[in-house]
Amino acid sequence: MLKGHSWKFWVVASFAAFVGLGAVGSLVPETEPSSTTVDLTDSESTAASPKADLTSEPSTPVLLFITDQKDGDSWVASDDDEYRLGMVNAPEVGEDCFSEAAAFTREFVKDGFTVDDYSTDTYGRHVAEVFDKSGDSLNVAFATSGLGDDRYLAEFRHENVALAERLDAAYASAPAPSCKASNKPVPLVKKPAKTTNSNCMDGYSPCLPIRSDMNCPEIGHPVTVTGSDPYRLDRDGDGTGCD
The mean pLDDT values, 10 residues at a time, for the chain of 243 residues are: 54 57 50 51 49 62 96 97 97 94 97 97 97 97 96 96 97 93 57 62 87 83 86 83 84
Residues 204 and 178 in one domain: no
Q: What is the CATH number of the domain that holds 156?
A: 2.40.50.90
Is the same domain home to 175 and 237?
Answer: no
4 is a domain residue = no
Q: Which domain holds residue 205?
A: 199-243
Decide if 223 is inside a domain. yes
Please give the Cα distance from 112 to 118 (Å, whole number). 19
Q: Does residue 42 fall inside a structural domain?
A: no
Q: Are residues 173 and 205 in the same domain?
A: no
- Is 215 among the domain residues? yes
In terms of domains, do 70 and 163 share one?
A: yes
- Could you tell me if 63 and 131 are in contact, meaning their C-beta atoms sit under 8 angstroms apart? no
Instruction: Kindly state whether residue 58 falls inside one of the protein's structural domains.
Output: no
Q: Do residues 160 and 203 share a domain? A: no
Does residue 138 belong to any structural domain of this protein? Answer: yes
How many Å apart are CA 36 and CA 33, to the nearest integer? 9
- Got the DSSP string for 97-140? THHHHHHHHHHHTTT-EEEEEEEE-TTS-EEEEEEETTS-BHHH
Residue 24 lies in a domain: no
Cα 90 from Cα 163, distance rounded (Å): 17
Q: Are residues 235 and 142 in the same domain?
A: no
Same domain, residue pair 156 and 229: no
β-sheet bridge partners, residue 125: none
Same domain flag for 74 and 165 = yes
Distance CA 79, CA 125 (A): 13
Same domain, 177 and 204: no
Contact criterion met (CB below 8 Å) for 177 and 97 = yes
7 occurs within a structural domain: no
- The secondary structure of 184-243, three-state, reads CCCCCCCCCCCCCCCCECCCEECCCECCCCCCHHHHCCCEEECCCCCCCCCCCCCCEECC
Quote the CA–CA distance of 83 and 65 in Å, as a whole number: 11
Q: Do 173 and 73 share a structural domain?
A: yes
Instruction: Output the pLDDT for position 17.
Output: 58
pTM score: 0.54
- For the chain, the domain total comes to 2
- Among 182, 216, 232, where does a domain finish? 182
Cα–Cα distance, 104 to 72 (Å, whole number): 7
Residues 157 and 77 in one domain: yes
CA distances from 121 to 90, 105, 128, 158 (A): 16, 20, 10, 14
